[in-house]
Amino acid sequence: MDQNYNKNSAQDRIDQINAFEREVNQLDADGVLSLSAGQKESVSAHHQSLIKQLAESFDVDISHSDKQFSLGMRIASFLGALALAASVFFLFYQFWGLLGHFTQVSILVLAPVLTFIATLVIASKESTGYFSKLAALISFACFVLNLTMLGQIFNITPSDNAFLIWAAYGFLLAYACDARLLLVAAILSIQSFIAMRMGTWSGMYWLSFGERPENFFLPSILLFLVPVVISQRRFTNFEQIYRVFSLIIFFLSILVLSNVGQLSRFAGDPDFIEGVYQSLGFAFSAGVVWLGIKLHWGEVVNTGNVFFVLFLYTKMFDWWWEWMPKYLFFFLIGLVAILALVVLRRLRGNQEQRMEGVA
């Protein structure tokens, strides 16, 4: 079997095989193409062997009903993990005041260690990954509780270094268990830490990092480039998560600055600053859509589209909300949406014509 398969490509291959079988049957029924019995048997044997190998190596859905079950399991796993993580916090809060320092510290230190070991043991024995991801999230919650509660118990001065440590642990667990949720937590933590540290270097208190949204630009760009520099092929959707969350933080920062120029680190007329960031918002979101189309990054195209629309709607709100009757305002919003639909359909039509020309 090709060693370059990961979970996503394995699932794509199986979906392709199922689609192929359906199409061959349809072509046979339509009298367009009929494979001989020998050919059918040979193709079927090859496909069955491949599906068996892929199913043994990855947690893939072989049929449509498998997909539905998998979706249900993912939802249950996600909700269960969140609930268990919350229960860890509340359990400790319920009893910590009744314990001496030594007991408190012992529990706080041992909880993440033991859950971490349990996570790795489960991951090594389990092929589907649902239980190991659940254990990993609990371990992460225990570690967050570890540092937070040590800070409270001993009245330690809060520090931004905690975010760096949490990010490191989140990345470790995410890559160990192929856990997307923990990757998201790690990305948000490391972005926060970099933004906080940039804020500190410019003379402000680290917790006020949100008051200067420009602090998020550099970490967003760096994290967007991670999958370019380090291959994420072996992990499920990690590339997409890096790109999407980097773009979300980047564009949210621009969106805030385009409405509240006073938060900029640049001294100047807030209206001018807002105008600049509004222009940048439109330019960057359009640029991101172009980039996504060029490189076939669907999630990047969608994110760019969402923020382009957001910038457009906030601009229209600025222009019209105060003086225009509300029915007319929403009517115009609807017209703009229809115009966008027409433009996108035309662009798609042009794209299809170009592809036919190439063929």
Indicate whether 355 belongs to the interface with another protein (CB under 8 A).
Answer: no
Which residues in the 212-241 window bind another protein by CB under 8 A? Answer: 212
| Local structure of 59: helix, strand or coil | coil
Q: How far is CA 276 from CA 46, 195, 306, in A?
A: 59, 21, 20
Site for another protein in 74-103 (CB under 8 A): 90, 93-101
Residues 121-140 that bind another protein (CB under 8 A): 123-124
User: Closest Cα partner for 142 from 183, 92, 95, 78?
Assistant: 92
Residues 4-33 that bind another protein (CB under 8 A): none
Task: Determine contact, residues 199/212, Cβ cutoff 8 Å.
Answer: yes
Judged by CB under 8 A, the residue of 50, 120, 312, 333 near another protein is 120
Question: Which of residues 11, 77, 146, 232 is near another protein by CB under 8 A?
Answer: 146
Please, what sign has the CA dihedral across residues 20, 353, 301, 4? Answer: positive
Rule CB under 8 A: choose which of 45, 113, 230, 283 binds another protein: 113
Number of residues that bind another protein (CB under 8 A): 51
CB of 169 to another protein, least distance (A): 6
Among 117, 228, 230, 335, binds another protein (CB under 8 A): 117
Question: Please, are residues 10 and 58 in contact by the beta-carbon 8 Å criterion?
Answer: yes
Residue 59 or 211: which CB sits closer to another protein? 211
User: By CB neighbour count within 10 A (0-12 exposed, 13-18 middle, 19+ buried), where does 299 fall?
Assistant: middle
| DSSP type of residue 156 | P
197 contacts another protein (rule: CB under 8 A): no
CA distances from 350 to 26, 103, 354, 355 (A): 30, 69, 6, 9
Residue 219 DSSP one-character state: H
Classify the C-alpha dihedral 176-178-181-185 as positive or negative.
positive
Minimum CB separation of residue 128 from another protein in Å reads: 17
Determine which residue in the list 147, 185, 188, 241 makes contact with another protein, applying CB under 8 A: 147
| Shortest Å distance, C-beta 257 to another protein | 11
Per-residue x/- marks for another protein, 156-185, CB under 8 A?
Answer: xxx------x--xx--xx-xx---------
Q: Report in angstroms how near the CB of residue 194 gets to another protein at its nearest.
A: 17
Q: In the range 255-274, which residues lie near another protein by CB under 8 A?
A: 260, 262-263, 267, 270
Residue 335 CA to residue 341 CA, distance in Å, equals 10
The tokens for 82 are 């969140």
- As given in the structure block, the two tokens for residue 145 are 């509780």
Q: Which of 95, 205, 182 is nearest to 132 (CA)?
A: 182
- Please report whether residue 199 would count as binding another protein according to CB under 8 A: yes
Q: Which residues contact another protein by CB under 8 A? A: 90, 93-101, 105, 108-109, 112-113, 116-117, 120, 123-124, 143, 146-147, 150, 152-158, 165, 168-169, 172-173, 175-176, 199, 203-205, 207-208, 211-212, 260, 262-263, 267, 270
